[in-house]
Amino acid sequence: MEVAAIVAAVGLAFVFGTSDAPNATSALVAARAAPWHAALAFSFALHALGALAGGTAVALTMTTLIHVPTNDLPSVIAAACLASIVFVAGAARLGIPTSATYGLIGSLVGGALVVGGPHDIRWGGFHGLRPYGVLGTLAGVILSPIVGVAVGWAARRAAIRATARATRRVLRPVRGAIWLAAGLVALSDGTNDGQKAMGVSAAVLVAAGSLHRFVIPLWLRVAVALALALGTVAGGGRVVRRVVRGYYRPGPLDSLAAQVSSAGVILGAAAVGAPVSTSTVVASSVVGAGADRHPRHVRWEGVVQTISAWFLTVPACGLMAAVFVACQRLA
């Protein structure tokens, strides 16, 4: 079961690539700085680098959500990863940028409830600014899109004021800056998403006795980095188009403001060890930039549909993981 759990976690990293990771390239496509194939190739390289070079703060946070017996942990993690894969992959095929992060949180809770009930859940909160447990982690993923909207709105307003008297010549350096901002988003997202899969995998290795303390082996980093980056290329087109066309069609300055905002929120979350979803952060930053231009330019129907999918993800994945664990225990 230990091998199955790690394989499922690496598979989940691939799904992170198909659902969350492509959003880092949406600004390049929207600003016509690159065709989406080139943008996804750029995203592949930066996501792989981020996963390889990232730390362990987010990975450690993922290990604080549940506290099940050591012999049950691999089966719970395998079921949680599988449930997240099934749900999020289905949403990605429809072009809906739901969150694999939400799915993993809900799945871990659902699986743990079947094994030991509520006392196997670490509800947690905050140690200073650092989140731990279910409540601390959920606070981070819920607050991040709110912050994304606010920062996206403020960043676009600042960009418009700074370029109020500029000519169209400013568009060339703006598109160059979008490449830099998109690279930062991809790099930080590779770190954040990669650590989620690495964290649950390392927890399995510790439970199995293969590791004597919580560390992320190099082979695991490489496997997760490749899976995440390959997912970006394999399944990103639908979600990129959804972010570009589904909420608001941004211009170059709008795209730059949204991408800088997204990078700032994701990097800030990584610094305190908070798992966040790139799809929620990027989408909220795009909406914030559009709302600064005028609320009527935002396609609120698409926003509502996506938010509904996010709220559905946690209970749906939790229920699915609970069924998987129950079936394993009956087999």
Mean pLDDT score, 288-304: 71
In the chain, the percentage of residues whose pLDDT exceeds 70 is 81
What is the predicted pLDDT for the residue at 290?
76
* Best CA proximity match to 318, nearest among 59, 92, 37, 76: 76
Residue 251: per-residue pLDDT: 66
pTM equals 0.84
Mean pLDDT of the chain: 81
Out of 48-57, 85-94, 161-170, 219-228, the most confident range is: 219-228
pLDDT at 129 over 60: yes
- Residue 19 tokens read as 């659902």
| Phi and psi at residue 132, to the nearest 5° | -150, 155
Region 141-154 average pLDDT: 88
pLDDT exceeds 80 at position 268: yes
Q: How many CB atoms lie within 10 A of CB 198?
A: 26
Between the alpha carbon of residue 46 and those of residues 236, 261, 273, the distances in Å are 15, 18, 20
Position 243 confidence tier, pLDDT thresholds 50, 70, 90: low
The gap between the terminal CA atoms of the chain, to the nearest Å, is: 13
Each residue of 91-118: pLDDT tens digit?
767 766 677 888 899 999 999 999 988 8
Average pLDDT value for residue range 53-81:
89
Q: Which of 129, 6, 123 is nearest to 65 (CA)?
A: 123
pLDDT at 239 over 60: no
Residue 215 has pLDDT above 70, yes or no: yes
Q: How far is CA 170 from CA 159, 188, 290, in A?
A: 12, 27, 20
